[in-house]
Amino acid sequence: MGGKERHEGKHKILAVLYKAGEYADNKKFLACAENGLGVKEWLKEQGHEFIVTDDKEGPDSELEKQLPTIDILITTPFHPAYMSKERIQKAKNLKLIITAGVGSDHIDLHAAAEAGMTVTEIAKSNVTSVAEDEIMRILILIRNFIPGYQQVIHDDWNVAAVAHKAYDLEHKTVGTLGAGSIGQEMMKRLQNWDLNLLYYARHQNEKIEKFGAVWEKDLDTFLSKCDVVSINVPLTDKTRGMIGKEQLSKMKKGAYLVNNARGDIVVREAIGEALESGQLNGYGGDVWYPQPPGKDHPWRHMPNHAMTPHLSGTTLDAQARYADGTKKILECWFDGKPLPEEDYIVREGELASQYQ
Ligand code: NAD
């Protein structure tokens, strides 16, 4: 399996990327449809067919139209091409799906495995970008920054309205739910901030402990000890809805929750209710379901949130890394070489262990 013969010849590759319009003039902005992850010319020179579209929803979309004839699909978590079982079954020639970034939950991974496909990510390409963003969101929430900013743009001035619930982060307990690459990067950055650091994981993890984080193996106990929880696990069958009403009730009253992992790891309505009741003092993140969310998505208008579109992992620095990683994967694939080990999510029909 995976021999040279299988991937020789000309390929038909579809990339689903959002359009950047006027912003595409910045050539560092690789992750948009106009700049095609920087691989357009390179693929053309080799005679491959490379199609880029942002049109991914519904039966008449360009994605649906191209599915039966493409053999490689490139998607990103920022403008996810939702690859349902039906779409995977329709894609008869499709052998490789590359997630340009980290997090492949927009793909039905079981269906992809069943179809014998390979799914890869660009592991670690944006962990720094996300870890930095999480620390920013924690500070934005705990310092009650957003109401102060809104006062300024609305020609207002009311120190009390902000200060009555603004705190320092110092001496608080900050926990990461998940001790993988992003959890570790976050703890590495926070290790000298005079905090109590905790991590919840299924197994003790030496890598995160070297930054002073202490293992808590019981989720409820972990939640009850933290002033701030940051979610850093992938969305899988086991983590979907992992933080709902019951788990939120175990948290300290007035705690903060930051989720840059995936929207569906938390229960949508439970977050709004916890913010309304004051059980949570703030919720921040950049991940939603679906993406883009409808105008009526409740997270747009719930109190005390620090939500943005999905952007923490797509800084220009991150784009350079995952564009480069995408090219490396294509090179390996064309040459019949194994792909970087840590990038595999599904390897020719076999699902990585954390998704099983
Ligand atoms: P990673 O694979 O390095 O770490 C994930 C960790 O979660 C692993 O240690 C794994 O053991 C743990 N885990 C998995 N299932 C678990 C469970 N049921 N209970 C407890 N722990 C569990 O991944 P990472 O690079 O740290 O990224 C984590 C997630 O963050 C990604 O899967 C993705 O969904 C999200 N992400 C978001 C952005 C963004 O732009 N917002 C960018 C990158 C990644």
Phi/psi at 283 (5° precision): -135, 130
Does the Cβ of 234 fall within 6 Å of ligand 1? yes
Protein residue with its CA nearest to atom 1 in ligand 1: 180
Of 291, 305, 319, 347, which one is the catalytic site residue?
291
Strand order in the sheet with 228-231: 214-216, 196-200, 173-177, 228-231, 255-259, 280-285, 305-307
**Residue 250, Cβ neighbours under 10 Å: how many?**
16
**The amino acid at 187:** M
Query: Are residues 94 and 125 in contact, defined by beta-carbon separation less than 8 angstroms?
Result: no
For residue 81, report the distance from its CA to the centre of ligand 1, in Å: 20
Separation of alpha carbons 167 and 176, rounded Å: 20
Q: Is 171 annotated as a binding residue?
A: no
Nearest-CA neighbor of 162 among 140, 138, 145? 145
Domains delineated in the chain: 12-123+314-355 (3.40.50.720), 126-307 (3.40.50.720)
Opening angle at CA 21, ends 18 and 23, nearest 5: 100
Ligand 1: nearest atom to the Cα of 205: 9
Going by DSSP bridges, is the β-strand pair 350-351/344-347 parallel, antiparallel, or unpaired? Answer: antiparallel
Does the Cβ of 208 fall within 6 Å of ligand 1? no
The pTM of the full predicted model, rounded to 2 decimals, is: 0.95
pLDDT tens-place values along the chain, 356 residues long: 444 445 778 999 999 999 999 999 999 999 999 999 999 999 999 999 999 999 999 999 999 999 999 999 999 999 999 999 999 999 999 999 999 999 999 999 999 999 999 999 999 999 999 999 999 999 999 999 999 999 999 999 999 999 999 999 999 999 999 999 999 999 999 999 999 999 999 999 999 999 999 999 999 999 999 999 999 999 999 999 999 999 999 999 999 999 999 999 999 999 999 999 999 999 999 999 999 999 999 999 999 999 999 999 999 999 999 999 999 999 999 999 999 999 999 998 999 888 87
Pocket probe for ligand 1: among 75, 137, 236, 354, the residue whose CB has the most ligand atoms within 8 Å is: 354
The pLDDT assigned to 3 comes to 41
Protein residue with its CA nearest to atom 41 in ligand 1: 260
